[in-house]
Amino acid sequence: MNDRQENILTVNGLSVSYGKFQAVQNVSFSVLKGEIFGLLGPNGAGKTSTLSALEGLLKPQSGSIVIDGYDAGEKPLYARASLGVQLQSTSFQPELFVIEVLELYAGIYGLTLTRNQILAILGEISLEDQAFKKFGQLSGGQQQRVSLVIATIHNPKLVLLDEPTTGLDPQSRRQLWERIEAIREKGHAVLLTTHSMEEAESVCDRIAIIDHGRVIAVDTPQALIDKHRADPEVISVSRRGKITLEDVFIALTGKTVRA
Amino acid sequence: MDTVIPKTSTVLAALLRADFTTQWRNRRSVILTLVVPVIILISWKGLVAIKGGAFALSNSITIGLIATGLMGYTNAIARDRDKGIFQRLRVAPVPTWTIMASRICVQLVMIILVTTAVFIAGNEYDKITLTPSGYAFTYFTAIIGGLVYLSLGQMVAGLITNPETVNSTTRLVYFIFIMVGMFGELGILGVQIHDLEHWSPYGTVKTILAGSMEPAKWTNDTSIALLLTVLYAGVFATIGIQRFKWNTNK
């Protein structure tokens, strides 16, 4: 097995519940080194709960999570040190300048960076001139760029992105895709959740479709399309004749709008 | 596997730097926290001659400690929890205790500042001076007293998740403490309220502060107040830590 085929993340039999509500049920999947893996599902399907368990924010009811060889239950700090995380709604202390937020996160990941080095990092995302603005004063796209930089500041082996393109305009979204692909070029793996099938189809190497807390399909986007191309349900939801990932997704998860 | 966990000291240094910067940027509320006990001390100038300097200083410091612990700390953690700031910190390889330890360190500095501000105002306006051991001992008991209100704040944030409700609750408790504390102490509200106030978290903190200002006058009553103060801090902290949730979503 070469490096590319090694798992950076292995999730096995993961279950998460909130009281009596079973949000994630016996979910298993793995992410390979250097791949972009998409976790797709309707609202309330269990994507964010799965990610929260990986991030250590939720204690799983059962199952195991191994990140870069570290069992997240036994060695949570090592597992978390291997992760870069961008949460769905990122928030930093509103009193701090952008440069200070980066200094804080560099510090808590054990990095010693000078102000010039941090300015250079901000320069890479064309935000050098925003360094002394507060995070809340940045536009949505700028905030996403900053939080992605923070997620990758310590060169993590696996980056978790929870709906990273939500609320972005097409230009910012396209730019973010390029940044995500650049993360992969550096050899890091990315696990992202998204509602955008277009995004999943164009960026992800493999995807898992999750619904009602269970993984119902895992494959490459093209393989999923090919596999379900002839399904009557898929054909019936197809709107333009050409079968897309969205058609397969709707056929598998149903047409009903979720809360 | 070459994953390196950052040293706890490095993590704490980064958190402390950010938390002190945050406090500095909120200096208007910091100044208010310092000004209120000083104003009360100055307005009580007439009482100094009747009740003594220790009475006026201890009441003023107690009010400052309540403002620091109950209002400043509690509302800050309720806001940061609601905004997801804690969640973002918790996904980093940070022991969770360091997040709160850093916040508490900032509050301990505030306790020292409040105490110092009252000492300076007492000296300047009321000519109240203590012995060097009185000053040192009072700083020590101010920290213990401050911990009572920090742990009370922790309990409020543990029991209530909505930041607006936390804010209104701490304001109400602050108001009750000031009113019942100051007027109950003077006996205006009757004997029963006076006794209740004397053994309340306001009264015990005030008693140990007054006792430490004049160590020669430390009595059994002061020792019991000290024990009760530690007990209050322990109970509030236990409930506050056990019930505290790091996020308000689930």
With CA atoms as reference, report the closest residue to B130 among B72, A82, B186, B139: B139
Tokens of residue B11, six digits: 């993590």
| Counted domains in chain A | 1
Q: Do B91 and A85 touch (CB under 8 A)?
A: yes
Q: Who has greater pLDDT, B212 or B3?
A: B212
Q: Do B92 and A106 touch (CB under 8 A)?
A: no
ipTM: 0.87
A87 → closest Cβ in B10, B25, B87: B87
- Read off the CATH number of the domain in which A19 is found: 3.40.50.300
B3 → closest Cβ in A68, A94, A100: A68
Q: Do A107 and B11 touch (CB under 8 A)?
A: yes
Q: Who has greater pLDDT, B192 or B112?
A: B112
A4, pLDDT greater than 50: no
Measured between beta carbons, the chain A residues lying within 8 angstroms of B91 are: 55-57, 80, 83, 85, 87
Is B2 a member of any domain? Answer: no
Q: What are A71's strand-pairing partners? A: A66
The sign of the CA dihedral B206, B210, B212, B215 is: negative
With CA atoms as reference, report the closest residue to B5 among A103, A82, A72: A82
Q: Return d(Cα B209, Cα A26) in angstroms, integer.
A: 58
Q: Return d(Cα B183, Cα A135) in angstroms, integer.
A: 45
Is B172 a member of any domain? Answer: yes
A183, pLDDT greater than 90: no
Domain extent at residue B61 = 8-243
Q: Give me the pLDDT at residue B217, please.
A: 85
Quote the minimal CA–CA distance from B247 to chain A in Å: 9
Measured between beta carbons, the chain B residues lying within 8 angstroms of A106 are: 14
Q: Do A55 and B91 touch (CB under 8 A)?
A: yes
Distances (CA, A) of A247 to A47, A211, A236, B88: 20, 15, 9, 35
Is B249 a member of any domain? Answer: no
Q: Give me the pLDDT at residue A1, please.
A: 40
Domain extent at residue A132 = 3-28+46-220
Please give the residue of chain B at the shortest CA–CA distance from A49.
B250
Measured between beta carbons, the chain A residues lying within 8 angstroms of B14 are: 103-108
Q: Do A70 and B1 touch (CB under 8 A)?
A: yes
Q: Give me the pLDDT at residue A5, please.
A: 65
Q: Which amino acid is at B8?
A: T
Q: Return d(Cα A88, Cα A85) in angstroms, integer.
A: 10
With CA atoms as reference, report the closest residue to B231 among B161, B147, B163: B147
Is B117 a member of any domain? Answer: yes
Residue with tokens 């809340």: A136
Q: Which amino acid is at A174?
A: R
Q: Do B93 and A106 touch (CB under 8 A)?
A: no
- Torsional class of A217: left (φ above 0), alpha (ψ -120 to 50), beta (otherwise): beta
Instruction: Encode pLDDT of A108-165 as tens digits.
Output: 999 989 999 999 999 988 899 999 999 989 988 888 889 989 999 998 999 999 888 8
The pTM is what? 0.88
Tokens of residue B147, six digits: 């911990």
On whether the CB atoms of residues B60 and B47 are closer than 8 A, the answer is: no
Q: Give me the pLDDT at residue B248, please.
A: 80
The string of DSSP letters for chain B reads ----PPPHHHHHHHHHHHHHHHHHHTHHHHHHHHHHHHHHHHHTHHHHHHH-HHHHHHHHHHHHHHIIIIIIIHHHHHHHHHHTHHHHHHTSS--HHHHHHHHHHHHHHHHHHHHHHHHHHHHHHH-----HHHHHHHHHHHHHHHHHHHHHHHHHHHH---HHHHHHHHHHHHHHHHHHHHHHHTTTT-HHHHHHHHTSHHHHHHHHHHHHHSGGG--HHHHHHHHHHHHHHHHHHHHHHHH--S-S--
Which candidate in B11, B15, B88, B245 is best for mutational testing of the A interface (most A CBs within 10 A)? B88
A100 → closest Cβ in B21, B88, B89: B21
Instruction: Encode pLDDT of B145-158 as tens digits.
Output: 999 999 999 999 99
- Main-chain dihedrals φ then ψ at residue A224, nearest 5 degrees: -65, -40
Is B248 a member of any domain? Answer: no
Instruction: Encode pLDDT of B48-66 as tens digits.
Output: 888 888 889 999 999 999 9
Q: Do B18 and A109 touch (CB under 8 A)?
A: no
Q: Return d(Cα B13, Cα A108) in angstroms, integer.
A: 9
What is the per-residue burial (b if ≥16 Cβ within 10 Å, else e) of B110-138?
A: bbeebbebbbebbeeebebebeeebbebb
- Using beta carbons and an 8 Å cutoff, which residues of B are at the interface with A? 1, 3-7, 10-11, 13-15, 17-18, 21-22, 25-26, 80, 83-85, 87-95, 246-247, 250
Residue with tokens 């791949």: A35
pLDDT, averaged across chain A = 89
Distances (CA, A) of A27 to A213, B55, B134: 7, 64, 63
Q: Do B87 and A108 touch (CB under 8 A)?
A: no
Residues present in chain A in total: 259
Categorize the per-residue pLDDT at A258 as very low, low, confident or very high, splitting at 50, 70 and 90: low
Residue with tokens 């306790």: B111
Measured between beta carbons, the chain B residues lying within 8 angstroms of A68 are: 1, 3
Categorize the per-residue pLDDT at B137 as very low, low, confident or very high, splitting at 50, 70 and 90: very high
How far from the centroid of its chain's Cα atoms is residue A217's Cα?
18
Quote the minimal CA–CA distance from B139 to chain A in Å: 30
| Counted domains in chain B | 1
Categorize the per-residue pLDDT at A90 as very low, low, confident or very high, splitting at 50, 70 and 90: low
Which candidate in B1, B3, B98 is best for mutational testing of the A interface (most A CBs within 10 A)? B3
Instruction: Encode pLDDT of A7-53 as tens digits.
Output: 999 999 999 998 889 999 999 999 999 999 999 998 888 998 999 99
Q: Do B4 and A110 touch (CB under 8 A)?
A: yes
CB atoms inside a 10 Å sphere around CB B175: 10
On whether the CB atoms of residues A62 and B96 are closer than 8 A, the answer is: no
Is A118 a member of any domain? Answer: yes
Q: Return d(Cα A158, Cα A153) in angstroms, integer.
A: 12
Please give the residue of chain B at the shortest CA–CA distance from A77.
B93
Q: Who has greater pLDDT, A84 or A5?
A: A84
Please give the residue of chain B at the shortest CA–CA distance from A23.
B250
Q: Do A78 and B5 touch (CB under 8 A)?
A: yes
